Structure 1
Amino acid sequence: MGRNHKNIMLLGTGSNVGKSIIAAGLCRIFYQDGHSVVPFKSQNMALNSFITKDGKEMGRAQVVQAEAANIEPQAFMNPILLKPTTDRKSQVIVNGKVYKNMDAREYFAYKHNLKKDIMAAYNHIRDNFDICVLEGAGSPAEINLKEDDIVNTGMAEMADSPAILVADIDRGGVFAAIYGTIMLLEESEKKRIKGVIINKFRGDKSLLTPGIEMIEELTNVPVLGVVPFVPLGIEEEDSLGIDKYNVKKEGKIRISVIKLKHISNFTDVDALSHYNDVSLKYVTKSSELGDEDIIIIPGSKNTVEDMKDLIDKNISREIIRLAKRGTIVFGICGGFQIMGQKIMDPKNIESNLKEISGLDLLDIETVMETAKTTTQYGNKIKNADGILNGMEGIEIKGYEIHQGYSYPVNEEKTEIKCIFDDEKLKGAVKGNVVGTYIHGIFDNSEFTNHFLNKVRKLKGLDKVNEDFSFKEYKNREYNKLAQILRENVDIDKVYEIMGIK
């Protein structure tokens, strides 16, 4: 099987042109057509990560693609993950485990050493799967960064893969982007580009025909299809996709998500956005708060700095005021830490500050530790108090990624209840305030259906007996994406490019 391995790489004219989503669509098509298919991105830079069954960390974009391919996500699909910690530094994760923090210059000098890890991961794929859908990062024509490239044309070379260039027409200048990208490549790299997909098109396709004919003549590369702009319920790779929530319909249940400076795993709220009567908005100013039923404080790659930012912008004061008024406040991971009395960072892991006061909505304190918790999690709710009343026994599955741990303060006096019976605190509730370390908590449909019905009841709205399964919903969206690509891209030609008859 491995000996007849075929591959295709998706490169982009820039970031956020839709490479990830088209890769997911091709994964679903190849899976539907009976092939064993796997996604691969040698190096991903994202604050959106996932923990595999064996406790390894990987980028969520490859998790989405693995779901589309109907296989279990594993760290070999994304051997290098860079998680920005500040404007200049990133945490470097190799084969699912933290290697160390590096600044851009240090990483650039070091990254050629990672080729062996990348090739070990890719050779495992080559031996075990019929097809690999590779994805590049940003643009392959970043001529200042071309040396020792390990993620774009350098990766295509290492995997000996043909490539398709994805271009986004929605941002304008699509033909210049296609032409400029191809012309800045070296001859050997140009030869790998076997086709172009124009993505996110709105309007009458026939108006594009003259431009397509000209660009094909200029570049000698065929345009394989024009994909229409279709809103799909498939999560975005990076926080550039956040803005789509701000155009969401007006729902009876209003949720404000605090857009932290170092927001991570913002996809934790994705499931909520698919309920018909829920509207979500992201908030960056205190003046935008006040008309919601629920405030969500998501994960953060730098909890201490983000807490300081909330204080500086007066957002913290507003959240406290609204919580006291009865607004539900829900914190996840870094958001959970922010809700406590204080966050201590004695070893300056995240910041120059040794300690900062939290929102004091939960009687907990957090200490940052060098060791990072990365594990999948599953348990039943034991202490369903306050807003979670009546939810005992509901199973919660998800994963943890956090630096440090939290513990209850003044245990004999505290009103908070530990949600799960764990030795280490995984979540707590006090009246209308809930916090947990579990990423993906809202992906648990039984929990989310109960939770939203509790909010409806408080608002005097009718209960919704919508047995919404987020997993089934996503599966339908992957099928819809595959259908859109089949209708608008020459899939036979894609197979031909890969050498599959």
Structure 2
Amino acid sequence: MTDAVMLQGTASDAGKSVLAAGLCRIFKQDGLAVVPFKSQNMALNSFITSLGDEMGRAQVTQAEAAGLEPDVRMNPVLLKPSSDHRSQVIFLGKILGEMDATSYHQFKPALLEDILQIYQELGEEYDAIVVEGAGSPAEINLKDKDIVNMGLARAVGCPVILVADIDKGGVFASIYGTIALLEPEERALVKGIIINKFRGDVALLQPGIDMIEELTGVPVLGVVPYLQVAIDPEDSVALSQKSRTVDKTKDLDIAVIGLKRLSNFTDFQALENEVDVSLRYVWSATELGTPDVIILPGSKDTIGDCLYLQEEGIDQAISRAVHTGSRLFGICGGYQLLGRRLLDPDGVESQLGEIAGLGFLDIETVFRKSKRTKQVQARQGSYCLSGYEIHMGETKILGQEEAFAVIEDEGGRHLDGAVSRDGHIQGTYLHGIFDNQEWTRAYLNQIRSEKGLAPLPISGLSMAERKEQAYNQLADQLRSSLDMKRIYQILKGEGG
């Protein structure tokens, strides 16, 4: 058997992804070649590997913590919701198709053999695997075809540590209820419990810990405090924790428009680290005001989100702000939204065929069935930019706008994005654009100059350096909070 441990949660957002990243870093620090694995991930935050494969960002984060280049085998199945009932199904980085929930539930067993083969490959290549489950293993209506929680754990004989979020309340009931709903052979795989996101005096928890250990027969391996670490969040659950108000102590107000199918909000993590930036998310027309910059983020349903902005009057609020002096910046789907027309002749996103865009740039986008997924290097003036593309549309400039950047790859030289003649409205397909620290500071300083503020130098660490620091801090905190000796025993399959 491969040395492995699986983190399952009593519910979504219990903190499994962050704890898995922390364990990856600890095992790496201790000299193990460790690899993360999550057989199925549902998220609109995705990443493109160096081979052009699309995978969930949670496993990218865990790969970084493990000191590895992201490999799509770490997340074989990625589900990207395109509506309340349908998702794009991506397997090993490539699109299989769109499925509704019922169809996918019936289809899942067909993926299991491939998932087990991938798991075996990783086990042969690495010393240890840190496996992450999804949601809760006690979703009794889905257990019959499970491929990510106990279905996988049973298939590979992987011991399980149950993660419970105390911040939401009812932690002991959620632990007991989850374990009680498992089958006997599933309960036998649960070797430990971690209580996560605690605020307060751990001594006050001890009577509850003693009782839950007695009731379940499973040891509590530690209590982890509520952590504030600069690690990419996994999915849209984290959006609820983002600020909706302006921090008036900061010089620059940047507002991200909250789309219904907002994707890759990790694009703005770097902006949150800038000392002069107040970054907020706007979910209604009345919240917008006149920020220095309005960002239209990526979208998994550009046409649907365009109609949403128009129905809610958010498009008019954006227009008023732009005419009052706000800059406008679109990324990927947000770039497409800036154009005059969105055309979908093949019904890739909708059956409408064509709708009007927001009309800020003289461009149009035609949606195609093929998807561009690629890491790219680009140049804008003196700046060398890196990023990645994930889109199914082709956008062309119709008017006098200039391109945002020039991309050169094995396919030749081509233009990316568009910029208005006054430079105040810009769009690009490059996800991760703000991770380019030198370019970002120059962009922010241009806004500062227009406001009569002195420019600032590049401050602090790069995103890569911040992440590396955060992984080490996370590992230190987990070492002090958890019984690592017991966790190593569980990893190696020792003991009961």
TM-score, length basis structure 1: 0.94
For each residue in 1:418-471, what CA deviation from the matched residue of structure 2 results, as whole angstroms up to 9, or x when unmatched? 422665542221120110001111111111122122222222222221344111
Which residue is equivalent to 1:448?
440
Q: Which residue of 1 aligns with 2:15?
A: 18
Equivalent residue, structure 2, for 1:208: 205
2:424 corresponds in structure 1 to: 432
Contact 2:302 2:336 in 1 (8 A): yes
Q: Structure 1 counterpart of 2:424, which letter?
A: N
Tell me what 1:393 maps to: 382
Residue by residue over 1:466-501, the C-alpha shift from the partner in whole angstroms, topping out at 9 and shown as x without a partner, is 344111011111111111101111111100111289
Alpha-carbon distance in 1 for matches of 2:63, 2:187: 29
SS in structure 1 opposite 2:389?
strand
Query: What TM-score, normalized by structure 2, do the two folds share?
Result: 0.95
The alpha carbon displacement at 1:7 in A equals 0.5
Residue 405 of structure 1: which of 375, 382, 394 is its match? 394
How far 1:346 moved relative to its partner?
1.2
For 1:415 and 1:117, locate their aligned partners in 2 and report how far apart those are by CA, in whole Å.
47
How far off is 1:184 after superposition? 0.4
Partner-residue secondary structure (3-state), 1:305: helix
- Work out whether 1:489 is the aligned partner of 2:475: no
Identify the residue that residue 384 of structure 1 maps to in structure 2: none
Equivalent residues of 2:45, 2:264 under 8 A apart: yes
* Residue 279 of structure 2 corresponds to residue 287 of structure 1: no
In 1: Cα distance, 2:355 partner to 2:189 partner:
52
Q: Deviations over 1:54-104 (max 9, x none)?
A: 111100110011111110001000001111111111111111110011111
Tell me which amino acid in the other structure corresponds to 1:420. V
Task: Report the CA distance shift for 1:446/1:418 in structure 2 as closer, same or farther (over 3 A).
Answer: closer
Closer, same or farther in 2 for the Cα pair 1:421/1:397, shift >3 Å? closer
Structure 2 unmatched ranges of 5 or more: none
CA distance in 2, matches of 1:352, 1:425: 29
Unaligned segments of structure 1, at least 5 residues? 382-391
- For residue 246 of structure 1, give the secondary structure of its aligned residue in structure 2: coil
Cα distance in 2, alignment partners of residues 146 and 26 from structure 1: 27
Q: 1-side partners of 2:281 and 2:301: how far apart?
A: 19
Partner in structure 2 of residue 335 of structure 1: 334
In the alignment, which of 432, 446, 452 is matched to residue 460 of structure 1?
A: 452
Structure 2 match to 1:67: 64
Question: Which residue in 1 is equivalent to 2:491?
Answer: 498
Asked if 1 retains the 8 angstrom alpha-carbon contact of 2:106 and 2:145, the reply is no
For the 8 Å contact 2:244–2:281, the answer to whether it is kept is no
Label 1:442 to 1:228 Cα distance change in 2 as closer, same or farther (>3 A).
same
Q: CA deviation at 1:190?
A: 0.5
Contact 2:342–2:357 (8 Å) recurs in 1: yes
Q: Which one-letter code corresponds to 2:16 in the other structure? A: K
From 54, 79, 104, the equivalent of 2:101 is 104
Residue aligned with 1:17, SS: coil
Kindly indicate whether the alpha-carbon contact (under 8 Å) linking 2:404 and 2:426 is maintained by their aligned counterparts in 1. no
Aligned residue pair count = 485
Q: Please report how far the alpha carbon of residue 291 of structure 1 lies from its aligned counterpart in structure 2 after TM superposition.
A: 3.5
- Do the aligned partners of residues 443 and 345 (structure 1) sit closer, same or farther apart at CA in structure 2, a change above 3 Å counting? same
* 1:173-229 Cα distance to aligned partner (Å, 9 max, x none): 000000000010011100111100000001111110100000000000000010101
2:233 maps to which of 233, 236, 256:
236
- Contact 1:406/1:425 (<8 A) preserved: no
Query: Which stretch shows the higher mean deviation, 277-286 or 455-464?
Result: 455-464
1:420 aligns with 2:406: yes
Secondary structure, aligned partner of 2:110: helix
Query: Which amino acid in 2 is paired with 1:344?
Result: L
1:159-174 mapped onto 2 (5 Å cutoff) = 159-174=156-171
Shift of 1:315: 0.7
The CA deviation at 1:325 is 2.5
Relative to structure 1, the CA distance from residue 155 to residue 441 in structure 2 (aligned partners, 3 Å threshold; closer, same or farther) is: same
* Deviation for aligned residue 1:5: 3.5
Deviations 1:144-171 (A, max 9, x none): 1000210001111222211100000000
Q: Which amino acid aligns with 2:383?
A: I
Q: Is the 8 A contact 1:363 1:416 kept in 2?
A: no
Separation in structure 1 between the aligned mates of residue 356 and residue 348 of structure 2, nearest angstrom: 17
Cα shift at 1:297: 0.5
